[in-house]
Structure 1
């Protein structure tokens, strides 16, 4: 990505996402993804690792969708502050829940990483939490579509 890559991406994000609410929702989601991937580094059980990587790939596939929702929301109701726009409050709520659920998904993966001995149900708890992330991103997309985005 070259020396100026991160600066250019930051400026592009400022233009597309603004510097307010939608940018924060986008960045929160990406911090959760980063955290989940960091957790993978310490997984020693190969079968568990493969299962968690599969979940990581599915969560990463949500990234462009979250960005698209945030970009479109910024276009419809620009935000440079922290005020939640009434017409897209549900979109923001769904994105916030998705970011929080992603953080708890990473936490569940970290707990599995620390488990001693065989894990009888594998990554079932991580799957359940990841499912909430998928549902909340879909809800944000649905609400945005209903709002005209």
Structure 2
């Protein structure tokens, strides 16, 4: 991304997400997604790579949903600091758990990458962790609907 595009994206993020809690939750999720994609770069086993790419696509599809939750949370309860607004503490907790689960998913994929020989269960452990990410994002969305 060029400097101009990056600056414009940063301004748009500032306007939509603020500079506080909701921005940090969104950015943490995006960094976890980037980390997962970086892990994919070193996988030689084509079958495993294919499984992990399908999971990556599913996780990438969650980013706009996380952003939508964070934008709405910022609209309803603006945050420029790190204090968790009382009414939205559960939303923040769900987003935080989604970010943590995404980091664990990337870690599981990295462990598969380091495996020697064929992996008997394929990407099952990664898929289970990715399912947890989805559940936390759904929880945050549900909490915002209430």
TM-score range, shorter chain: over 0.9
Matches within 5 A, 1:51-130: 51-130=51-130
Q: Alpha-carbon deviations, 1:68-89, whole Å to 9, x = none? A: 0000000000000000001010
What SS class does the counterpart of residue 78 from structure 1 fall into?
A: coil
Count of residues in Structure 1 that have an aligned counterpart in Structure 2: 146
* Partner in structure 2 of residue 14 of structure 1: 14
The 1-side partners of 2:55 and 2:2 are apart by 30
* Partner in structure 2 of residue 36 of structure 1: 36
Structure 1 ranges of 4+ moved more than 3 A: none
Q: 1:107, CA displacement in angstroms? A: 0.1
The 2-side partners of 1:61 and 1:28 are apart by 16
Q: 1:2, CA displacement in angstroms? A: 4.6
Structure 2, unpaired ranges of 5+: none
Q: 1:59, CA displacement in angstroms? A: 0.2
Structure 1, unpaired ranges of 5+: none
What SS class does the counterpart of residue 4 from structure 1 fall into?
A: helix
The 1-side partners of 2:88 and 2:29 are apart by 18
The 2-side partners of 1:126 and 1:110 are apart by 10
Q: 1:3, CA displacement in angstroms? A: 3.7
What SS class does the counterpart of residue 68 from structure 2 fall into?
A: helix
The 2-side partners of 1:118 and 1:2 are apart by 40
The 2-side partners of 1:78 and 1:3 are apart by 28
